[in-house]
Structure 1
Amino acid sequence: MLLAGGTGVVTQELLKDALKYGKCFVRNGNTANYIPELQRVNKYQLGICAVGFDGDLPEVVEVGDSRVPFTIQSISKIISLILAVRDRGPDYLFHDKVGVEPTGDPFNSIVKLETKSRPFNPFINAGAIAVASCINGTSADEKFDRFLELTRKLCNNKEISLNESVYQSEKETGDRNRALAYYLKASGVLEGDVEECLDLYFRMCSVSVTALDIANLSAVLANQGKCPFSKEMLIEPHSAKAIRALMLTCGMYDGSGEFAMSVGFPAKSGVGGGIAVPLVGRMGIGVFGPSLDEKGNSIGGIKMLEFLSEKLDYQLF
C-alpha cells in the first residue's frame, strides 16, 4: 500500500526503515516508573501505523508493535477537550478555565499555578483536570461513558475499554495530580467535586488503545474532523484546527519546541508511549514506544517521526 505524503509516499518498507532507526535509541530511555503498572511494561516494544485517506477508502500501513495495547494517558486530553468544548463552548473554556500557551515546565508542574491560577493550556495535567471538570454529566460514571463512546468512534474501534489495573495504580499513586486538583478548586477554576473529577481523569488516562487506534484518531483530526471510515463528522472543523495548533505548540510537553524544530508535525504524546500525529489532508500517524525521554515522550517514537519527516519532506515549516 502507498500513502501520499509530501514529495514522497509512506510504504511498508519506509515504515520498516523508520522502525529500525527508532529501535537504535530505545535503550536510552525508561518506562514511566512513577506509575507502577507502567513501569512493568517492556520498554523495547515499538510500533507505528499510518492511516491515509486521499482515495475513496482509507489505507492502513503498519509495522512493529502497532497492535499491542497500551494506555492512552495524555493523548486522552485531546478527547476530553473535544467533549468539554462541545459542552461549554470554546469561549468559556479558553477564557475562563485554561489558556492556550506553552509553559516550558514539566507536564505535572504546579509552579505556574502559584502566579496564574488558570492553567496555561489543556495539555498539561492541571489544564486537563480543569477541562475534565467541565464535561457534562450527573456523575463520573456518566461522564466517563460519554468519553469512552467518543473515543471508540474517533479510534474506529468498538472494543476499546478501561485498563482496570492501570486505573487503580494511577489512583493510588496520583498524589501530585491530587495536589493540582485541590489547588485548582481553591482558585475557583475546577468545577464540582474534586475527587469525582480526579476519578474521571484517572479513568480517561487508563483507557487501552493501540498505535492503530491512535492513527485513526489522528486521521480524524487530519481530515478536518470527519472519520475516514464512517464519513461521520466527529469534530467541528474549527475545533480540529484549534486542537492541531495546540498539539504543535504544547503537545509534546516541555519538549514541544524542540520537536517542532526537528520534526515539524503537530503531535500529542502520552507517558504510556503513544504519539498521535495528524498530517492535514494526508494521513494520521499513531506511534507506540514506552521507552521515554526525560520529558516523558517516546524516544523511539520521536526518532521514527524524525526519520519520516526527513524522508517525506513534509513539514509545516
Structure 2
Amino acid sequence: MQCIPSDTLQEFVEKARPFSRKGTVPHYIPALAKAEQTDLSVALYTKEGCVSAGDVSKRFTLQSVSKIITLALAIDDLGRTKVFEKVGMEPTGDPFNSIAKLENQTPSKPLNPMINAGALTVTHLIQGMNNEEKLERILQLVRKMANNDRITVNEYVAKSEFETANLNRSLCYFLKEHKVIDGDIEELLNLYTNQCAIELNCIDLAHIGYVLANDGINPYNGEIILSKDITRIVTTFMVTCGMYNESGEFAIKVGIPAKSGVSGAVLSSIPEKMGIGVYGPALNEKGNSIAGVRLLQSLSNQLQLNIF
C-alpha cells in the first residue's frame, strides 16, 4: 500500500501531542517516571519502506509489548497445546495486574497471556538452561524481528522494575501455590523484568509489527522468523487483549491489532499491509499511551486501516 508522506505524518503527531498533557507518566516503576510527558513519535513500515515522525531516535523499553515476543517463543518451543494448558485465551475486563480472576477461576490459571499473571506464566515456559540463555533467546527473537542486532536490555530500568515488583511477586506466589508454575520466584521475576526492559525505538517496533503483518517473514531477506500459525495466534491476542481492559473500545475506534506497554510503547500490525511503532509515555487510566492511541485512531481513519 502507498504510505503517508513524512510531513503529513508529522502533522498527525503534532495534532495528537496535546493529548499527552491529559495523561500521566507512570511512577510505580521509578525509572519510567523520568520520561518526558509530551514525547510522541511514530514509524510506519510497509513494502515501500519506512516513514517516521517525531523523535524516533528516542529509545524506550518494551514493557508489556514483550508479552507477544515471549508468547511466540513459548509456542515455538512447546507447541500451542502445552502453552494453553497453562494459560487461557479469553479477554478480561480487569486491569492488567489484577489477581481477582485468578481467585475466581477453577483451575486457577490466568485468563490470557497479555495480563501480567499470564505473561509471567508464559515467561516461565521459555526453554533454556538458565536465565542468561533464556534472555538471550528472547533478545535474539526481538533483534531478528526488528532487524537490529544492537538491541539490548536497559539494566537501570530492569533493576528499577525488579526492586518494585511486589505485585508481580504476589501473582507468582499465587500461581506457584496453584501449581501453574514452579521453581524459584526471584529467578522468574529477574527474567521477566529483563524481558520488559529490552530497549529499542519506534523504527525497531514498526519493523517487528511488519514481520507479524508479513506472516512472520523478514521482508529484507525472506527468512521465516515465525510460523504463519504463530503470527496468527499472536495477532489475534493483540486484537482481543492487547490494549489491556481498553481492548474492546480500541477495536471499535481504531480497529487494528495492537499491543501496548506502560513505557508508552504501542506496537501495531495490520495484516499484509504495515507495522506501526508508537511511543508516547503519558498514559491514560487504562495504562495505554493517551496521545499514541489518539494518533493511531487518526492514522486508521486516514489510511483506512480498520480490519473489521
2:73 matches 1:75: no
Aligned residue for 2:179? 188
Q: 1:12 offset after TM fit, Å?
A: 1.2
Q: Whole-Å Cα distance in 1 between the matches of residues 142 and 266 of structure 2?
A: 15
Contact 2:270/2:307 (8 A) holds in 1: no
Contact 2:76/2:230 (8 A) holds in 1: no
Q: Whole-Å Cα distance in 2 between the matches of residues 205 and 308 of structure 1?
A: 27
Q: 1:20 aligns with which of 14, 27, 40?
A: 14
Give CA deviations for 1:191-236 in whole Å, capped at 9, x if unaligned. Answer: 3322211111010001111111110100000000001123211111
Q: 1:100 aligns with which of 81, 86, 89?
A: 89
Contact 1:84/1:93 (8 A) holds in 2: yes
Q: 1:262 offset after TM fit, Å?
A: 0.6
Q: Which runs of 4 or more aligned residues in structure 1 lie more than 6 Å from their structure 2 counterparts after TM superposition?
A: none
Aligned residue for 1:64? 54
Q: Whole-Å Cα distance in 1 between the matches of residues 16 and 220 of structure 2?
A: 29
Alignment of 1:170-189 (within 5 A): 170-189=161-180
Aligned residue for 2:119? 128
- Letter matched to residue 57 of structure 2: R
Q: 1:284 offset after TM fit, Å?
A: 0.5
Aligned residue for 2:80? 90
Q: 1:184 offset after TM fit, Å?
A: 0.5
CA RMSD, 1 decimal = 1.0
Q: Whole-Å Cα distance in 2 between the matches of residues 298 and 25 of structure 1?
A: 10
Q: 1:14 offset after TM fit, Å?
A: 2.9
Contact 1:130/1:191 (8 A) holds in 2: no
Q: 1:16 offset after TM fit, Å?
A: 1.3
2:44 matches 1:50: yes
Q: Whole-Å Cα distance in 2 between the matches of residues 48 and 168 of structure 1?
A: 27
Q: TM-score, normalised by structure 1?
A: 0.95
Aligned residue for 2:104? 115
Q: 1:313 offset after TM fit, Å?
A: 2.0
2:146 matches 1:155: yes
- Letter matched to residue 206 of structure 2: A
Give CA deviations for 1:67-87 in whole Å, capped at 9, x if unaligned. Answer: 210011000001111111111
Q: TM-score, normalised by structure 2?
A: 0.97
Contact 1:217/1:284 (8 A) holds in 2: yes
Long gaps (5+) in structure 1: none
Contact 1:223/1:280 (8 A) holds in 2: yes
What percentage of aligned pairs have identical amino acids? 44
Aligned residue for 1:263? 254
Q: Whole-Å Cα distance in 1 between the matches of residues 180 and 259 of structure 2?
A: 24
Aligned residue for 1:273? 264
Contact 1:273/1:291 (8 A) holds in 2: yes
Aligned residue for 2:135? 144
Q: Whole-Å Cα distance in 2 between the matches of residues 85 and 11 of structure 1?
A: 38
Q: 1:13 offset after TM fit, Å?
A: 2.8
- Letter matched to residue 231 of structure 1: G
Contact 2:266/2:289 (8 A) holds in 1: yes
Q: Whole-Å Cα distance in 1 between the matches of residues 182 and 207 of structure 2?
A: 32
Q: Whole-Å Cα distance in 2 between the matches of residues 82 and 291 of structure 1?
A: 28
Aligned residue for 1:247? 238
Alignment of 1:192-207 (within 5 A): 192-207=183-198
Q: 1:31 offset after TM fit, Å?
A: 1.0
- Letter matched to residue 105 of structure 1: D
Contact 1:134/1:191 (8 A) holds in 2: no
In structure 2, the residue corresponding to 1:265 is in which secondary structure? coil
